[in-house]
Each structure stands twice: as structure tokens, then as C-alpha cells.
Chains A and B, each alone.
Chain A
Amino acid sequence: MSNAAPTIEQPPPRDGSPLLDVEHVRVLFPVKSGTLIDRKVGAVHAVDDVSLQLREGETLGIVGESGCGKTTLIRTIARLIDATSGAIHFRGQDITKAGRRELQPVRREVQMVFQDPQASLNPRKRVGQILTTPLRLRKIPRDRLESESRQLLTRVGLHPEHLNRYPHEFSGGQRQRIGVARALALDPRLILLDEPVSALDVSIQAQVINLLDELQDALQLSYIFVAHDLSVVRHVSDRIAVMYLGKLMEISPAEALYTKPIHPYTSALLAAIPIPDPHENRSRTRPLVSGEPPNPIHPPSGCRFHTRCPRATEVCRTVEPQLTEYSGGHLAACHHPQHVSAQEIERATRSPASPLTAGDQAPAG
């Protein structure tokens, strides 16, 4: 989240490989029915063949409606949920099937901050205890535990004296700061932020966003920032991925997603957000999508969005679109892309991140 304008082409990381590499990950939750003996009658396609990469120091935003699989995806990356198939590499190491012991160093480096700071802090422990547990795991000597915890609190903008308080003595924003401090206690490289500010008031949201921004600069952290709020995501992200019903619809540098959305679903999401400025809000045309996301147990064939898409044609109903890479690292899975010229479509290539089941039709204008 540096303040520099987002450049379209980022320099490759020093060792040439991304910090995190998610390849064709699928997560299916079985649906069971029957008395006494459960029969598997289907599966919820929570995450269905998603590939993406995260570079060191980058913030990747993931947006989508509830049920699109964004939270399942990051929980899978944190190995809180096991992937049904596909592979997750962290610093080149395959962690998809790694056992408890192998995973331990990775767990230290990949931390998570949850949406509800109330529910994610143990109400019976003082802040000091909440912070020293991860510090002990890091083998910090006993005599330094307190000074380290005090430092952590200062780092997240709380007073060191707060060590002796319980979570309920804090406001929502302060609790979220404690959640961040706990994640920082393990000296992580990557922090997975699951709707970290959605539960907070607007003025407090800004404080926490600024804090995350400062920490990223100071500690060279990488973030995956999951949110349903596209305006917050725009503010924090370098790149943004849009998910719908378990599939990746579009992924692009942050600015391009807002100024030149290629997928009709992205446009629909953007149009649905009211702008807090009455004049501009009225002058906008807002093509709203009707209906609601279909049932993820029986997702639509072809393009998952075709049932609600204003541009859908026959091909969308039958063929799953490939993820097409346009110039500037802008990828979209759509047969009828918008905001791209004929030349751009011609120059576009099929991305290796395309779902394995996708057809090979190139997009038509």
C-alpha cells in the first residue's frame, strides 16, 4: 500500500518467484442427507479452480458477494480448510498437504486477522496473555515477553498499560488493533485480512486502514485483503480479484478494475455502490443486475454469471470462459469483454490460470 501511483508493470521479485502461488485450487464441501447413514448427495462448490499469485510486499484485494468463496479461499491459504484439489505454494514450498510439523514455520509467517474482533479474542484472557502466547511460540525469552508485548501495543497505536485489561474493556476499533497486534506478534510476512474493517464505524475504519498501511510500509508485509466493500478495497489494494460463485471473474491492477472493468459482473458490482456525493450519484447511469446469485450446489453451466448477465449469449451458457490476459496484467473470464478494443482482444492470450475445465474459445467483442 505505498502511496506511489500503482504502476502497471511491477518489477519481478528478487528471486523471481511469488511469495504465494495458488494453483487451480478447488474446495468442495459435501452436502449430506439421509438418516443414520449419511449419503453424499452433492457438493457446494465454494472455491472452484482459482489460481492467483501474490508478490512480496503487495496487497491483493479479493471482493465478491457473500457466498462467493472469498473467505473460504483465504482460509484454505491459511490451511484452516483443506483444498479438495490444486496446490498452494508459499515461498516455493508446497504447503497444500504439509503436515503439522512442516507447517509450523509457515503458520508463523502467515497470520490472519478476522472480521469480528469481539469473537476472535478470548474474553477471559488479558491482552498481555493474548499477546505473550504467540511470542512464546517464537521462543522469545521470558524476561523479554513483557517489553515485547508493550512494543506491540505501541506499534498498533494502543497504550502499553493496556496489557492488563480484558478485551471487553475496549471499543471495536481498539479490539481490532489488538487482533492486528496478535498477528504481528509472530513476525509474519503475509497477513490474511478477512473483512478487517467491516464491523467498524466509518471514522474508526479509517484509523484501522491507516494503521494497516503504516505497518505494511514499516514491516514490509504482504496482505490479502478480503472485503465486500469495493471502496475500501480500492483504497488499500495494489491488485484486486473479483470472485463470483467460487470462480475468479477478473483480476487486475487496482486502478484498471475501476476505470476499465472488463467483466460485466465487475461493472454490475461497481454500479451498485452508491457514491457518497448526491450530484455525482444522480449523474451516473447504473445498470443494476437483477436477481441473486444462484445456488452453489448446482452452479450454472458455462459462465457462472450468465443467468444474471446483460451480455450473455448462447456460448456463455455452454462454454466456461477461459481467463484471458489483456495488456497490463489485466485478466478476465468473459466471452464478451467490455472496455477493450478489437486489437486488444486480438493481442490477448489465454492465461495459464484459466480453469482446467474452461473452453478454448477466445473472447469475442
Chain B
Amino acid sequence: MTAPETLLQVEDLRVSFATEEGVVRAVDGITFTVQAGEVLAIVGESGSGKSVSVMTLMGLTRGQNARFEGKAMFDGRDLIAASDAELRKVRGAAIAMVFQDPMSSLDPVYRIGAQIIEQIRVHEPKVSKAQALDRAVDLMERVGIPRARDRVRSYPHEFSGGMRQRVMIAMALANSPKLLIADEPTTALAVPIQAQILDELRRLRDQTGAGIILVTHDLGVVADIADRIAVMYAGRIVEQGTLEDLFYDPQHPYTWGLLGSITRVDRNRAGKLPAIPGQPPSLLAPPEGCHFRPRCPHAFDRCTELPELVSRLPEAPEHPDRCWLEPERKRTLRQVGDQIGLATGETVIS
């Protein structure tokens, strides 16, 4: 890899929504960067704020009840402060997005080709319709749609889920984006198709050098394709690092819990799964200090104070986490509590 170029720099981004019940702090101060040619995976459970974070980058969460703080610098421009008109030029062109549900992301009454052509010509009005059609066919071939020349005339309902997701990727690629945001791009697809789509994304990164933000809850997908990972819990990044860091030296008890509670296709079943007791807090009234505290088996008095997201490991300055436990103590805990540090306790929940 050549010298990494920072594509996106997000600094202390906060998003809150005013609701009837109170203010929901969906994203509570997150900081991360994305380099060209890398895949950053944002991992977390539903409600952790991972989708809201990336949709905010695209200006898709703007509304009367939404409030934003912080910065997201892309190409010398702050995406959070940018006007709607400015964002419209960036969105779909330099930053493209692939959504989870390919069924609802395409317009059912327009032919596939027409939708890709529109995507191209919105951002490059000088391209003629005929040229755009050629490019559409070319894009569809690139993402592995057979007989693309005929299939530009198909409607979305004539395509399967996997094929529709390929069309979404083709549209995302249409204006050679520098940054691709993929929000659960494989979740709605059957397993063999998932693998094909991940291959497609990998190829895209290698060929174009684009940066990819992959939002997912699937740690298998992460292990397969990510370079770096940010783990989110209840609106905050609790740990960030390389693939190696996160899988083989996880620092935050929530990450241990996530890694511990997944069933694995390559492992024999071993009685009870270590589950994280309880459930994520309400973002209307999150607990004081560390948000994971009420579910954390290792919480102590200091956890009512919010730990900074900094590296506590002298040997890995690029591996920050939000946990007060001493690194040495964490290693012991992880070894004692059956490799991963969480007891298989009762799971009665209130």
C-alpha cells in the first residue's frame, strides 16, 4: 500500500433527536478517520448509533428535531456544516452509499438501466444518454451481472435480492466515489450471495483505492473484509483498532462479550453460550459514566466517570478504548473467564 491518504476525518460527532419523550442522544461524541484504500468496519448492535453516524455524514438524518455537533472533514469540506446544495453534489458522487435493503432502495417503476443512467447524469450532465447507457452496461458487468446489455431493460422486480444489491453497488460506483459507505450490505442476502457481494466490495477497494465504511453487526463479515474496526455501544465508540487488535487483544469488556457470544460454524457446540446479560440502555436516559457499566461484570466505582477514548497500551498507540481497567488486569480477566472473560450467568432481565 502506498502512503495512506486520509479521506475522512470525523471529530467528536454528536447527533441528538428531540422526541416526545425527551432528547435521544443517538451519537454521543465519536471520532474516527478513514484512509484511502481501507475498509473501516463500524460494529455494534441495533440502536448503537452506527447507522445514524454514517447517515449523518451523508446528511440523511437532517430534520427539524435533529441537532448536530462536531466535524466531519471530507475533501476540505465539513460535511456537518455543509449546505444541502453542497451536500447534494458530494452525495452519490464522491461519497456513495449502499443500503441494507436492496428491495426498497430501487424505484420499482423505472428500468434498472434508467436508474443507473440518471445517477451518472445527475453528477455529470455533459454525458449523453447513449454514453451513459454504455457506462451503465459496463458498470453492471463489473459487478458481475451477466447479460448486462439485455438486463439494463429489466425492472427491479425481475432481479433477485443479490442481483439488486449488485445494481446498488453498480450505482454507487457510477461516479467513481472516493468513499463508499455500505450499511449492512449483505444482511438481507442468503449466505452464498453474501460471500459474492463481499468479494465485489474487496475488488472495488483494490481496483479503485476507494475507502469503505462498512456498517455491520456480523463479526464474520468483519473478519473477512475489514482492515480496521470501531466498536460502538450506546452512541459511543468503545474501542477502535486493527483487525488483529480487536480480535486477538480486545480491550473493552463489551468487545469481549460480542466476541464471546457468537456461535461459530467451525466450532463444536460447547454447552451454554456466554451471553451478555441484560440489554442496551435507553438513549433517553443513559447511565452515567460508561454506558456499558450496568451490564459489565467487571464494573467498579470509577466506571461512573466516563473514560476517554485513548490508548492505554504503550505498545499500541493506535488501539484506543474506553475502559478504566488496567491493561494487565484485563489480560488476566480474559484468561480466567474462559478465554473471553464473561461468565455464563443467569439472564433474568428487568
Contacts and interface: CB of A to CB of B under 8 A. Distances in A.
Interface of A: 3, 65-66, 157-159, 171-174, 201-207, 209-211, 213, 228-232, 234-236, 254-255, 258, 268-278, 280-281, 286, 288-290, 292-293
Given A202-B258, A280-B266, 17 more contacts: A203-B258, A210-B273, A228-B191, A229-B263, A230-B265, A231-B262, A231-B263, A234-B263, A234-B268, A235-B273, A255-B268, A258-B266, A270-B265, A272-B191, A274-B223, A281-B224, A289-B192
B263 A232 contact: yes
Contacts of A204: 45, 275, 279
Contacts of B162: 292
B296 interface: no
Per DSSP, chain A at the interface is: helix
B347 A157 contact: yes
Interface residues of B, number: 53
A70 to B, nearest CB: 12
Nearest to A203: B276
A157 B277 CA distance: 11
Contacts of A290: 196
25 contacts: A65-B191, A171-B279, A172-B46, A174-B349, A201-B46, A201-B217, A202-B217, A202-B262, A205-B263, A207-B276, A207-B349, A210-B272, A228-B190, A231-B263, A235-B269, A273-B191, A273-B195, A273-B265, A274-B220, A276-B220, A277-B223, A280-B266, A281-B223, A288-B195, A292-B193
Contacts of B297: none
B160 interface: yes
Given A202-B258, A203-B45, A289-B192, A274 B268 contact: no
B56 interface: no
Residue of B191, B257, B267, B271 contacting most chain A CB atoms (<10 Å): B191
Contact of A278 (B160, B196, B218, B243): B243
Contacts of B262: 202, 206, 231, 276
A159 B267 CA distance: 34
A231 B218 CA distance: 12
Interface of B: 45-46, 160-163, 190-196, 198-199, 217-225, 243-244, 247, 257-259, 261-269, 271-277, 279, 344, 346-350
Nearest to A280: B266
Contacts of B192: 65, 268-269, 272, 288-289
Contacts of B275: 203-204, 206-207, 210
B262 to A, nearest CB: 6
Q: Please name the 10 residue pairs, one residue from A and one from B, whose CB atoms are nearest each other, closest first.
A: A206-B275, A274-B224, A274-B220, A65-B190, A206-B261, A201-B45, A276-B219, A203-B276, A231-B265, A206-B273
B19 to A, nearest CB: 15
Given A157-B347, A288-B199, A276 B223 contact: yes
A52 to B, nearest CB: 21
Residue of A158, A174, A230, A231 contacting most chain B CB atoms (<10 Å): A231
Contacts of B243: 278
B190 A66 contact: yes
Nearest to A1: B269
B344 to A, nearest CB: 8
B258 A173 contact: no
Contacts of A258: 265-266
Nearest to B45: A201
Nearest to A232: B263
Contacts of A281: 220, 223-224
B191 A202 contact: no
Contacts of B269: 234-236, 254
Contacts of B244: 278
Residue of B224, B267, B268, B275 contacting most chain A CB atoms (<10 Å): B275
A286 B224 CA distance: 12
A213 B272 CA distance: 8
A131 B221 CA distance: 39
Contacts of B276: 203, 206-207
B327 to A, nearest CB: 21
Contacts of B349: 157-158, 173-174, 207
Contacts of A213: 272
Contacts of B346: 157
A222 B231 CA distance: 38
Contacts of A292: 160, 162-163, 193
A275 B219 CA distance: 8
Contacts of B220: 231, 273-276, 281
Contacts of A206: 261-263, 273-276
Given A201-B217, A272-B195, A3 B45 contact: no
A288 to B, nearest CB: 5
Residue of B162, B196, B199, B266 contacting most chain A CB atoms (<10 Å): B266
B265 A286 contact: no
Contact of B264 (A209, A228, A255, A276): A276
